Amino acid sequence: MVLPIDSRSGALLVNGTVGVGKTTVAEAIGDRLAEAGVPGAVVDIDWLRRCWPAPNGDPFQLELALRNVGAVTHNFTVAGATHLVLAGVVQTRAEREAYAAAIGLPLRVARLRVALPLVRERLTVRHRCDPAGLRWHLHRCAELDQILDHAGVDDFTVDATRLRVDAAAEAVLLGAGWLTD
């Protein structure tokens, strides 16, 4: 079913801990936009920061991610995209403001939540051939979940523990105000 999408341009960042499904839900939102004929783009911020070694004091390559997000957003809007969907982690109000400035579009931030036991199951499957990566992600999922609980950066939260991907995407679209009646 094609859902009516608000025509006002903007950006929507799907935030959450590692393994929560940010990228999967962002891709599903992008599919909904495409089905509705809304010009848009989907960006996984992790790929925009994947460079090594990380500089001292910036272990998650935030500065690089911001520069790249600004460039990519510019290129997508020049190509006609009016709706930008991002998957990433925003841990502080300052980071949120920096992303909003880099993107240059009205920004909504959606917190995607999934019960941590399910997140741990997903991470175990995802990192089954990477024991060191699995240990890091299993530790980070709970730590980051607590950081995000206290950060106050999200406009709304969607608990996707019991939702299929398409239902989680629809809930995020509704929360962002991107669906119209």
pLDDT of residue 49: 95
pLDDT averaged per 10 residues in sequence order, the chain, 181 residues: 71 96 97 94 97 94 97 97 97 97 96 94 91 87 95 97 97 92 59
pLDDT of residue 181: 59
pLDDT of residue 2: 56
| Domain boundaries of the chain, sorted by first residue | 10-176
3-class DSSP state for residue 84? Answer: strand
| Residue reference for tokens 């004929």 | 37
Q: Is the peptide bond before 53 cis (omega within 30 degrees of 0)?
A: yes
CATH number of 10-176: 3.40.50.300
Q: What is the DSSP letter of 179?
A: B
d(CA 53, CA 69): 19
How many Cβ atoms are within 10 Å of 31's Cβ, its own excluded? 14
pLDDT of residue 106: 94
pLDDT of residue 134: 85
What kind and span of H or E run contains 88? none
pLDDT of residue 5: 72
127 and 134 Cβ atoms separated by less than 8 Å? yes
Strand partners of residue 44: 87
